[in-house]
Amino acid sequence: MTAALAAAHLGLSVVICEATDQVGGTTSTSAGTLWLPGNRHGHQAGHGDSTAAGRQYLEALTGPDDHLGRRQAFLESAGPAIEFLENQCGVEFVSSGQHPDYLDFPGAAIYGRAISPKEFDGRKLGPDFSRVRPPLKDFLVLGGMMANKADVLALLGRYRSWPAFRRTVQLVLRYLRDRISYARGTRLVMGNALVGGMLLGLRHSGVEIRFGTKLLSLEKTEGRVSGISVECNGKTTRIGAKLGVVLATGGIGHNNKLRENLSPRTF
C-alpha cells in the first residue's frame, strides 16, 4: 500500500492485486508500531535518540551494513517516509514513549524510538470500511470495540478516577452508536488505524484495487519483469507492467517449505 501511494504520487498508473476481499494483512492485526531511530515525533516529545545511536544498535545486532548500503538508506529515508504518509493519506503518528529495544546492545534506546498511528475514524472510508481487515477477536472489547494502551488503562481504572470514568463512557457511547450502522466500532487504533488511513489515501490517489485477485506468476520479457499472471473468479488474466512489480506478500508462517528454506537453523 505504501509503494502504491508513492508510485501514484509520482504520477504513475498503479494497480494493487489483493488475493482476499480485505486489505491490511497482518498489519491490520498488529499494534502498528514502527521502529524509527531519531524520528521527529520522539524528539518533539522530549525523548533523546538519534540515527547514529540506531546505526550503532543495528551494527551490534547484525554486523556491518551490506554492500548496497540498505541499512543507511533505511536510516536516511525513514523520516521522510513518515512525513510522506502523514501528508498523503492523513495518517498521523505519535511517539510511543517508553518502548525499549528488545536487546541491551550498544545504541539501544528505552524511549522515543518507536512511533504509533493515532486513532483513525473509519467512517471516513464509507463503504470501504468493511474492506479493512478487523483485528483479532481477542483484542476487541464488547465484541467489536478497539482499544489502545491508554484506552485499556482508562477502562481498567474507570471507577478509580473521574477522567478514567469519563473516557470509558466516551468510548462505550461511541461504540454503541457505531453498532447501529456498522458490524464493529469505527474508531480504529494501532495497525487498523494505519491501514485505514492508507486505504483512504489510495482511494484519493485513484489507485485501483482488485480484490479476490491472486498472483500466479511473474512474466518476463528479455530478462526483465514485464507483467504478472493473476487469477480472479476462476479466470486467468495478464496485467502488463511498464516499470515493475512490487511483491508484498506474506504467508511464510503458514508455509512449511518456505520456512525450511528461509528460516535460520539456529531457532
pTM for this structure? 0.87
Distance CA 133, CA 118 (A): 18
Q: Measure CA of the first residue to CA of the last residue in the chain; give whole Å.
A: 31
- pLDDT tens per residue, the chain (267 residues)? 999 999 999 999 999 999 999 999 889 999 899 999 999 999 999 998 899 999 999 999 989 999 999 999 999 999 899 998 888 777 889 999 899 999 999 999 999 999 999 999 999 999 999 999 999 888 899 999 999 888 999 999 999 999 999 999 999 999 999 999 999 999 999 999 999 999 999 999 999 999 999 999 999 999 999 999 999 999 999 999 999 999 987 777 778 888 888 776 654
CB 141, CB 168: distance < 8 Å: no
Distance CA 134, CA 14 (A): 25
Closest by CA to 131, choosing from 139, 140, 122, is 122
Phi and psi angles of residue 221, each rounded to the nearest 5 degrees, phi first: -135, 120
Going along the chain from its start, the domains and CATH numbers come out as 2-211 (3.50.50.60)
CA-angle at 191, arms to 190 and 194, nearest 5°: 100
- Other beta carbons less than 10 A from residue 106's beta carbon: 10
